[in-house]
Amino acid sequence: MMDLRSHIQNRFLIFDGAFGTVQMDGCLKPGENPTVLNITSPETVAAIHRNYLKSGAMAITLNTFSCSRFKIAGLPYTLEELVKAAFECAARAVDEAGKPAYLVYDMGPCGKLLEPMGEVSFQEAYDLCKEQALLAEKYGADAVLIETMADLYEVKAALLAVKENTKLPVLCTITIEQNGRTYTGGCIESTAALVESLGADAVGINCSVGPKDLLPYAKQLAGLTNLPVMIQPNAGLPQEKDGVTSFDVTPEEYAEVMTELAGSGVNILGGCCGTNYDYIRLLAEKVLPLTPVKREIAARETACTPTVCVEVKADTPVLQLATPENAAELSGYLASGDFDSVLDIILDQLYDVEAEYVMLNTTLLSGAAPEQISALLGHLQTAVRLPFGITAHSQEDADAMTREYNGKALVVIR
């Protein structure tokens, strides 16, 4: 098989569908982490992978979605034991199916909210993802899929953890509600800007709703980035009757909409909740004979928070936080850690200035260490909705200043 990065640049890649939908009854206790099946019932996991491969899937999504240290706490297995077993199940499936496949490590949300909404720091989230990424590379993953993310701050931590510690391709997908935003408010525009700026290999949407509801948002995403776009919808909305859950979109309806997506520039396609082997078989049959659409999206300069994305042009209104007139005052606040006074300055000026983003020229500030600017930006983001930009002396300083910024900061080197 060709390198996955090359594959998704030039061809369609069909992923598998849901795991829980086709999981055999009686394998798990109520509320039990499905990752344990890699050890307690490897034949079940291997059979699911094998059947998806025989249905036309070209990639195996490993049974590692719930491998975060938070989610496996209390289990009688180590993270490495669970991950190693997941790869063994996938390798067994490839052998039994008699066809090659990409092995994709599945990295889901860590299980707790990041600051400021929750208690997990950016660095803690990074470390959780780093330990998974290292094991993914150790046991032979072809890529890492960061999926079902609702918090773009966690996306950033996970993506950096994989990019900085492995050489693996990274695919990132968020989950949105019917209004086109994640439940934490993240938007499509910010997702595209952030993920592309951090060097992801593909960006997309998974889970969420059915393919028809995702269609306009998938098309929007395809119009915002030149990255390969990945879409894995649910089989519609779940409906429960007599204790049995079913979904309201048939395999035929699913494949029809996914074919339309393929014609709109989406080239990585698969399924999420409610989909099974029939959905993937029809998807592959309809899409693979087609020719992938080449998209040419003009580059844009952007700055974003998770909820607001601004295209920065020469005439985009900006609030200049640091000026020659107030630089000494700001430097004093920075040195003493009085970030509230800096916040007051911004809020006062925003009453008089119609700005779409805030620019902080750190080269005007005396003794401004990158870690101080990083801490300041974090504090300001708790109250200022607009995206930020910084002017720095070097790219190294800028990277340190914006590493834990929640979003994509505009960076100017001077």
The answer, yes or no, to whether residue 45 has pLDDT greater than 60, is yes
Please, is 112 exposed, middle or buried when counting C-beta atoms within 10 Å of its C-beta (0-12, 13-18, 19+)?
middle
Please report which confidence band the pLDDT of residue 27 belongs to, taking 50, 70 and 90 as the band edges.
Answer: confident
- Please tell me whether the overall predicted TM-score, pTM, comes out greater than 0.85 for this model: yes
pLDDT tens for residues 353-407? 899 999 999 999 998 899 999 999 999 999 999 999 999 999 999 999 999 999 9
Please report which confidence band the pLDDT of residue 28 belongs to, taking 50, 70 and 90 as the band edges.
Answer: confident
Mean pLDDT of 168-193: 97
pLDDT tens for residues 181-195? 999 999 999 999 999
Per-residue b or e along 124-143, where b marks 16 or more CB atoms closer than 10 Å to that residue's CB: bbbebbbbbbbbbbebebbb
pLDDT tens for residues 286-341? 999 999 999 999 999 999 999 999 999 999 999 999 999 999 999 999 999 999 99
pLDDT given for residue 26 in this prediction: 64
pLDDT given for residue 199 in this prediction: 98
Please report which confidence band the pLDDT of residue 252 belongs to, taking 50, 70 and 90 as the band edges.
Answer: very high
